Amino acid sequence: MRIPEPTQTPDGPSYEGRLLDRVDEEVVDQGAAFDIRTLMSRRGVLGLAGVGLGAVVLAACAPAASGGASSTPTPTTSSGADAGSASVTEIPDETAGPYPGDGSNGPDVLEDSGIVRQDIRSSIDGAATADGVPLTFELQILDLANGGVPFSGVAVYAWHCTAQGEYSMYSSGLEDVTYLRGVQVADADGKVSFTSIFPGCYSGRWPHIHFEIYPGVASITDSTTAIATSQLALPQDACAAVYAEAAYDGSARNLSQTTLASDNVFGEDSGALQVATVSGSVSGGYAATLVVGVDTTTAPTAGAAPGGGAGGPGGGGQPPAG
């Protein structure tokens, strides 16, 4: 039998649009969780036929999700005080990418005093500030293992790229910069909020924000304790408006070359549970919200994807070029 070969992507090796859980192992050795997720796509049925999953193949008979080139799916969850309901679905596990800054791939900002902060536009020491269109983003974390109640007390570490598509602590010239990274502790409603800038769009990825969720702030110094790792996707209309600004030179071109459906992270379902609700304007700034269901009864399957330099083909994509 021919062993399926992975495809090298900006965020690491993938197969049928899914990033490998075990980057050093063959596709057929990724484990049952990966195999089932792959088989849930129609393409995966043919690609993995005969690897021994038997009746699980039947799951692939469900209708495939559709998404056009400019589709912006509406999350099936609701936002606000009534979001804690049985209808909320667990957020998909996603890669933390090669630039996590959590110690799993080199630099570790979570060891730094001052990382627990709401405004992440400046470095922790205040020496540098990221420029861009203002963005406030709020995540509401719900505890699905306990009926979807607000998951108060969990710590959320969020990070994203600059307007130029570069990552602090990794990109050339930004190795000593710590902006666009921070931790907040969920309040009684399970909510965390960050003041930041709208991230740029670099080649090979849809505009996104990474986040990891930890049991509490005391556990953030050990990345292996994260109970969920995922990404927030930004809707196309807001991205198009922001990327018309000079500070985002190159982002509009990169956005035109990818879609939610083709993105190697959001592509399986076009980010159905990960596209944020966004309001605002370029002149006044934007606000993004996303409901995040976390089920602690399921084992996390995501995490960092070491390998590749910042902006390189084996890393997080090519930053926009002027």
pLDDT at 70: 34
Tens-place pLDDT, residues 189-216: 999 999 999 999 999 999 999 999 999 9
pLDDT at 44: 37
Say if CB 191 and CB 154 are below 8 A apart: no
| 3-class SS letters over 254-321 | HHHCCCCCCCCCCCCCCCCCCECEEEEECCCEEEEEEEEEECCCCCCCCEECCCCCCCCCCCCCECCC
**Measured CA distances, 290 to 74, 184, 190, 241 (Å):** 11, 15, 12, 20
Say if CB 222 and CB 212 are below 8 A apart: no
Q: For residue 275, how many other CB atoms are within 10 A of its CB? A: 23
Say if CB 195 and CB 121 are below 8 A apart: yes
**Measured CA distances, 157 to 64, 289, 305, 322 (Å):** 32, 16, 17, 30
Phi and psi at residue 96, to the nearest 5°: -80, -5
DSSP of 207-246, one letter per residue?
SEEEEEEESSGGGTT-GGG-SEEEEEEPPHHHHHHHTTSG
H/E element, 79: none
Say if CB 159 and CB 181 are below 8 A apart: yes
pLDDT at 112: 97
Which amino acid is located at 234 in the chain?
L
Q: Count CA within 13 A, CB hemisphere, residue 15.
A: 26
pLDDT at 111: 96
Say if CB 277 and CB 79 are below 8 A apart: yes
**Which residues of the chain register pLDDT less than 50?**
1-2, 34, 36-85, 306-316, 319-322
pLDDT at 167: 98
**pTM (2 d.p.):** 0.72
Rounded to whole angstroms, how far apart are CA atoms 5 and 27?
7
Rounded to whole angstroms, how far apart are CA atoms 41 and 63?
9
Instruction: Give one word for 152, left, alpha or beta, with left for phi > 0 and alpha for psi -120 to 50.
Output: beta
Rounded to whole angstroms, how far apart are CA atoms 160 and 196?
9
pLDDT at 26: 72
